[in-house]
Amino acid sequence: MPDIAAIVAEIAGEMRNAEDRGTVASYIPPLASVPIDKFGIAVVLADGAVHVAGDADEAFSIQSISKVFALTLALGAVGDQLWSRVGREPSGSAFNSIVQLETEHGIPRNPFINAGAIVVCDVLLGRLQPREAIGQMLRFVRELAGDDEAIRLDETVARAEQDTGFRNIALANYMRAFGNIHGDVRMVLGTYFHFCALAMSCRQLAMAGRYLMDGGRVDGHRIVTASRARRIAALMMSCGHYDNSGDFAFRIGLPGKSGVGGGILAVAPGIASIAVWSPGLNEAGNSHLGQRALERLVQRTGWSVFEPREG
Ligand code: GLU
């Protein structure tokens, strides 16, 4: 095993001094004021060792990374029936695009674009009230992270999205017109915005990703079956970075999911769960330095899933 503590410290040092940091998302007002100089990284290894550097303990808005946890909950609720309402193909379009929905009859390409995640929320609301679904999500990430109290929802972010998320409102109404949203559109969106408004640190996020590193288990407890963990990871690899997913697989070669808050959760199956955060984004809405940091990490560790393994 390479010296992960040294590698993580080195990457944080390099990212601290980087000049080109991307652009902070400004379409969600509270995110616009997050300082661009932030950078955090946390690596949790299969043996439980945790290595962190930079702003790894500062909570940030996980935004679309919550789509991984929402998908996990929806699969737990309805199993493979979910796939009649949302696809499993990369969209090749922006995270908030509406164009494919017209020709594809309101069935979003995958659960990691906004339209897909909105359908996932509607599925969860088939059995729960919004308050219950939001409570279930909060309990779930706290349990996964092994962190009972500290993870919270940022109501300011949720409210701002509710007030300004016109594209998401359009997506939900459009899918309602196709019959692929069954519940009250406002309640579905309220749930979606609250999931996006989860605030977590890199350390908490990397801890929460352990079930995807370890065949569906955390500390010996089964969260999902091994085959479900593999499938969620496969979707992260093919669809986790919107229209930048191919490039992420090319450069990094790990299942990962990004959010417009600048976080990325990535897993090296059997080896590590990794979270990085830097609020400046590239044009596709993915963390510019977060991607660079992960690229450095896989270069130095050989953790890409495409790296030949012994045995
Ligand atoms: N809450 C954001 C939105 O719906 C999430 C986007 C993202 O993180 O990709 O626009």
**pTM for the full predicted model:** 0.98
The pLDDT assigned to 202 comes to 98
Q: Cα(266) to centroid of ligand 1, in Å?
A: 18
Local structure of 226: helix, strand or coil: helix
Ligand 1 pocket check: which of 121, 154, 161 to mutate, most ligand atoms within 8 Å of Cβ? Answer: 161
pLDDT category at 242 given cuts 50, 70, 90 is: confident
Q: Cα(1) to centroid of ligand 1, in Å?
A: 36
Q: Cα(38) to centroid of ligand 1, in Å?
A: 20
For range 1-10, the mean pLDDT: 96
Q: Cα(301) to centroid of ligand 1, in Å?
A: 31
pLDDT category at 207 given cuts 50, 70, 90 is: very high
Per the prediction, the chain carries an average pLDDT of 96
Q: What's the CATH architecture for 4-63+200-217+235-301?
A: 3-Layer(aba) Sandwich (3.40)
- End-to-end CA distance of the chain: give it in Å, rounded: 16
Q: Cα(23) to centroid of ligand 1, in Å?
A: 15
Distance between CA atoms of residues 8 and 42, nearest Å: 8
Q: Which of 130, 113, 109 is nearest to 168 (CA)?
A: 113
Q: For 64-198, which CATH class?
A: alpha beta
List pocket residues of ligand 1, CB cut-off 6 Å: 63-64, 95-96, 114, 161, 165, 168, 196, 259-260, 285
Ligand 1 pocket check: which of 28, 69, 260, 287 to mutate, most ligand atoms within 8 Å of Cβ? Answer: 260
The pLDDT assigned to 93 comes to 82
DSSP β-bridge partners for residue 272:
45, 268
Q: Cα(63) to centroid of ligand 1, in Å?
A: 5
Q: pLDDT tens for residues 15-46?
A: 999 999 999 999 999 999 999 999 999 999 99
**Token code pair at residue 61:** 């808005």
Percent composition of the chain: helix, strand, coil (DSSP 3-state, to 5): 50, 15, 35
Q: Which of 283, 261, 285 is nearest to 275 (CA)?
A: 261
Residue 117 CA: nearest ligand 1 atom is 4
- CATH 3.40.710.10 in the chain is located at 4-63+200-217+235-301, 64-198
pLDDT category at 310 given cuts 50, 70, 90 is: confident
pLDDT of residue 94 exceeding 90, the answer is no
How far from 228 is each of 119, 233, 311, CA to CA, in Å? Answer: 19, 8, 24
The pLDDT assigned to 272 comes to 98
The pLDDT assigned to 97 comes to 86
Nearest CA to ligand 1 atom 2: 63
